[in-house]
Chain A
Amino acid sequence: MAELDDVLEAWRPISRRTCPPPDVLWQLIEGTAPDRVGAHVVACPLCADDVADGRALAEQTVWEVVLSWTREGLRALSSLCEVRPLAGEALRGPGEGLELRASGGGLRCRLELEPRGRELLDLRCTVTRGAEPVAHRLELVEDGKLLELRSSVAGVSVLEALTALDREIWVRAEEHSFAFDLRGETSEGGLSSDV
């Protein structure tokens, strides 16, 4: 019965011969596949892995989320973080950017995200204590590595033309720090602060 070994070899699930084709898995991701496909994906580790990969691809990146905000208006980023559309001052007008605010230790930190074209983002940070500007450092961090550093002038710091978005923004003022977490997996969480 050596042929049985050949059958097993030919039908090893690792070949995906026993799995739904990729277009059917994509239907599952889009929510249009038959229930039976979902049951298979739950049982099959290969398909579960493939579907998780597809879902990760299908997730909006933070950049797309920002574009979505600017197109469709305000969405809550986090209950911890006050978010509002940018408006007034030197900005282009309501609905074209986002403003994130956090406070602690008597400080107010204001982060403005403004799309520049389709692919770039300008970021402007203001820290104040009451009406007074507060000197601070603005850091762009990726995977724990410091990519960019700006020192404030008159309480304002600016990072222009950012392209990648899976990053964290740290604002350090006096002995306090504000962290705006822009990584995709926490885009709904938004903000932390160790003030």
Chain B
Amino acid sequence: MTTALETLLQRARAGEEPARGELYERYVAAVRARVRHGKRRRNWFWLEEEEDVVQEVFARFFSALDEGKYAHRDEDGLLGFLTRTGFFVIMELKGKLRAKEKLGVSPERIAALDLREVGRTLPMQLAERDCLARLYAAIEDLPAARAEVLKGWLYGSSVADLATRMGRSANAVSGLKFQGLKQLRSRLTDSGFLEECGEVFGLRHG
């Protein structure tokens, strides 16, 4: 037996705008509530226009309907699809902010970060994973302050935030980064990293 929701979805798939409007009206409050809840719960200070996320979720949902990428099961499944889509939209927004160095990991988290463990758990499908793990382990093995600054840089922490946490000046933090990279180069050269991993990363050696 076809439910009222299934009928509505069929009409929406057929391109009936009133049916799409009805679907939107029916679920927009639920999507909006989840985005607001996430924003408050997780302190998404960077999300100024939550409504943009809501609208993007529905735009993608209707695209998925058009392209046959939404397989309807029941209402809970539909809400799950909308929520998952919201997650992807949020992830994309965060990605853009991270690329602009506006959403780095806090220095407090950096201080507790074990880069060696990150290296051990890199995704299996990553061809460079073994060499990356070596690289990360080499950073972890640097003197603590140098390692902390390099890890902060890798994870997008600002120099100012690192300086505050470490009780040093910004110049001192920049100096630690310079010295850390220099020492890292030296150690990697001595350990044969270039010979073994140079090709993986497209590095020249010899």
Question: Is A92 engaged at the interface, CB distance under 8 Å to the other chain?
Answer: no
B105 CB within 8 Å of chain A: yes
Q: Which of B36, B95, B181 contacts A16 (CB 8 A)?
A: B95
Partner of B34, one of A19, A43, A57, A164: A57
Q: Does A90 contact B (CB under 8 A)?
A: no
Q: How many residues of B contact A (CB 8 A)?
A: 55
Chain A 16-40 residues near chain B, CB threshold 8 A: 16, 18-20, 22-23, 25-26, 29, 36, 39-40
> What B residues does A58 contact at CB under 8 A?
34, 83, 87
A57 touching B86, Cβ below 8 Å: yes
**B1-9, B10-18, B117-125, B162-170: which lies at the A interface?**
B117-125
Contact B41 A56 (CB under 8 A): yes
Interface residue ranges of B24-45 to A (CB < 8 Å): 26, 29-30, 33-38, 40-42, 44
Q: A26, A56, A118, A184: which contacts B29 (Cβ < 8 A)?
A: A118
Chain A residues closer than 8 Å to B181, beta-carbon distance: 4-5, 8
Contact flag A36-B155 (CB < 8 Å), given A53-B90, A56-B42, A166-B37: no
Cα-based distance from A115 to B35 in the complex (angstroms): 21
Query: Chain B contacts of A159 at CB under 8 A?
Result: none
Interface centre among A43, A53, A57, A59 (most CB of B within 10 A): A57
State the Cβ distance, B78 to closest chain A Cβ, in Å: 13
* Chain A residues positioned under 8 Å from B128 (CB to CB): 11
Q: Shortest Cβ distance from B115 into chain A, in angstroms?
A: 9
Determine whether the beta carbon of B204 is less than 8 Å from that of A22.
Answer: no
- Counted as pairs of residues, one from A and one from B, with CB atoms less than 8 Å apart, the total is 139
Most buried by A among B104, B126, B154: B154
Contact at A63–B33, with CB atoms within 8 Å?
A: yes
User: Quick check: A13 and B155 within 8 Å, CB to CB?
Assistant: yes
Does any Cβ of A come within 8 Å of B60's Cβ? no
Q: CA of A125 to CA of B117 in the docked complex: distance in angstroms?
A: 54
B84-122 residues with Cβ-Cβ distance < 8 A to A are 84, 86-88, 90-91, 94-95, 98-99, 101, 104-105, 109-110, 113-114, 117-118, 120-122
Q: How large is the interface on A (under 10, 10 to 19, 20 to 34, 35 or more residues)?
A: 35 or more
User: Is B135's beta carbon under 8 Å from chain A?
Assistant: yes
B189 pairs with A1, CB closer than 8 A: yes
CB of A79 within 8 A of chain B?
A: no
Residue contact B155 to A45, C-beta cutoff 8 Å? yes
List, in ascending order, chain B residues with CB within 8 A of A13's CB.
Answer: 118, 154-155
Q: Would you call A22 and B91 a contact (CB within 8 A)?
A: yes
**Which residue of the partner chain A has the closest CB to B103?**
A14
A22-B87 contact given A8-B135, A118-B29, CB 8 Å threshold: yes
Task: Decide: B109 and A45 in contact? CB cutoff 8 A.
Answer: yes
The answer to the question of A54 belonging to the interface, with a C-beta cut-off of 8 Å to chain B, is yes
Q: Name which residue of chain B comes closest to A53, CB basis.
A: B42
A76 within 8 A of B: no
If the complex has contacts A4-B185, A22-B88, A54-B87, are A14 and B41 also in contact, measured as CB distance less than 8 A?
Answer: no
State whether A18 touches B156 (Cβ < 8 A). Answer: no
Q: Are A40 and B123 in contact (CB under 8 A)?
A: yes
Contacts of A26 in B (CB 8 A): 84, 87-88
Q: Is the CB of A118 within 8 A of B26?
A: yes
User: Within B129-145, which residues are at the interface with A (CB < 8 Å)?
Assistant: 132, 135
**Extra pairs beyond A43-B118, A44-B118, A54-B87 (6, CB < 8 Å):** A11-B135, A18-B126, A26-B84, A40-B123, A43-B120, A53-B91
Give 12 pairs: A residue, B residue, CB < 8 Å, sorted on A. Answer: A1-B189, A4-B203, A11-B128, A12-B154, A13-B155, A14-B155, A40-B123, A52-B42, A53-B42, A56-B38, A63-B30, A166-B40
